[in-house]
Amino acid sequence: MNKAYEVTFSPFRAFTREEWSKLEEHPMFPVSDIDLSQLQALNEPLTLKEVEDIYIPLIRLLQIHLTHYRNLHNERDQFFSNKSKPIPYIIGIAGSVAVGKSTTARVLKKLLSMTPEQPKVELITTDGFLYPNDELEKRGILNKKGFPESYDTKQLLAFLASIKSGRDSLEVPVYSHLYYDVIEGEIQTIDQPDILIVEGINVLQVSAGRRTRRKVFVSDFFDFSIYVDASDKDIRKWYIERFIKLQQTAFQNPDSYFHRYASYSEEKLLKFAGEVWDEINQPNLTQNILPTRFRSDLIFEKGNSHFVRGVRIRKI
């Protein structure tokens, strides 16, 4: 095993990319039929090789977990002499801004829906549970959007509790990155999926500060959790590169919240993006996001090219 991944007495088992890619081969899985352009996020490369080497073994691992989850449900029904409907299996995906969580979430959603069982898979992001900008301004924390206190965690917990209670047709608020705000009156309906993927930077968080009295946390509702990891230096670089790309695309839209930056010179834009990272995103990563890494069941460790170089999986 590569010395870089050797950890003595760790609760995680570590794999190099090569070791992970050899765990399970799926020559019949129709990877080549997937339109990768529909799955990757802006400035996040995604290749068929990445899907085959990294995501296919993960899908096989998740299938093992899902099979046991379904079998346990059936055995409990037999034990209680009661026929009940299955409760959705929830997968949480955490990690920093710009690390590639959304790509990971979309790839998993697509691949899981293509497995032989053809489960109904839904995906939500916790962005929809951010307080609206008006409320953030009222609380004086608009510049802390993305920090734990900027989320309506009570609403998110109520949604997850309802999902795990077997309720039908639940509504989730929708967030617009164009308007940089929750869209009033717009909703996403989640109606009894077999699998629900919940993606967000702070989904593994267990404390909202000293004054919190909360005893139930978002991650309590997860059946499996993934943390997408990379070095701070690489994430900062990806964030700035994405910001530059957005200036050339989304920021050009007059309706964009960030349209004011569309005319910035490259030098001015680089300076601004760097300041945003250093003053907001880096502290949030260091204080709130990174400390939750080892609460996950699986960690994707990315190299500087955005591709996964190693995987850690919690021992059981």
Q: Is residue 205 part of a domain?
A: yes
pLDDT bin (cut points 50, 70, 90) of residue 39 is: confident
The answer to whether position 174 is within a domain reads yes
- At 180-227, the pLDDT tens digits run 999 999 999 999 999 999 999 999 998 655 555 668 999 999 999 999
pLDDT score recorded for residue 2: 57
pTM of the model as a whole: 0.93
Domain that holds residue 97: 87-302
At 59-74, the pLDDT tens digits run 999 999 999 999 999 9
* pLDDT digits 0-9 by tens, 238-252: 999 999 999 999 999
Cα–Cα distance measured from residue 188 to residue 190, given in angstroms and rounded to the nearest whole number: 7
Question: What pLDDT is attached to residue 28?
Answer: 65
Quote the mean pLDDT of the chain: 92
Across 229-233, average pLDDT: 97
Q: Is the residue at 36 inside a domain?
A: no
- Quick one: how far is CA 238 from the chain centroid? 17
Whether 213 maps to a domain, the answer reads yes
* Overall number of domains in the chain: 1
Q: What is the pLDDT of residue 10?
A: 87
What is the per-residue pLDDT across 101-128, written as a single tens digit (0 to 9) for each? 999 999 999 999 999 889 999 999 999 9
Residue 92: pLDDT above 60?
Answer: yes
Q: Report if residue 80 sits inside a domain.
A: no
Question: What are 264-295's pLDDT values in tens digits?
Answer: 999 999 999 999 999 999 999 999 999 999 99
Give residue 138's pLDDT. Answer: 97
pLDDT band at residue 299 using 50, 70 and 90 as cut-offs: very high
Asked whether residue 82 is assigned to any structural domain, the reply reads no
The CA distances from residue 275 to 6, 240, 245, in Å, are 36, 10, 17
CB 88 within 8 A of CB 163: yes
In a domain, 240, yes or no: yes
- Give pLDDT tens digits for 137-169: 999 999 999 999 999 999 999 999 999 999 999
Nearest Cα residue to 200 out of 149, 131, 141, 127 = 127
Taking a C-beta distance cutoff of 8 angstroms, is the pair 273, 239 a contact? yes
Q: Is residue 195 a contact partner of residue 88, using CB atoms and an 8 Å limit?
A: yes
Which has the minimum average pLDDT: 4-18, 113-127, 161-175, 227-241? Answer: 4-18
**Residue 150: which CATH number?**
3.40.50.300
Q: How much is the pLDDT for 66?
A: 97
**Residue 51: inside a domain, yes or no?**
no
- Number of neighbouring beta carbons within 10 Å of residue 192: 17
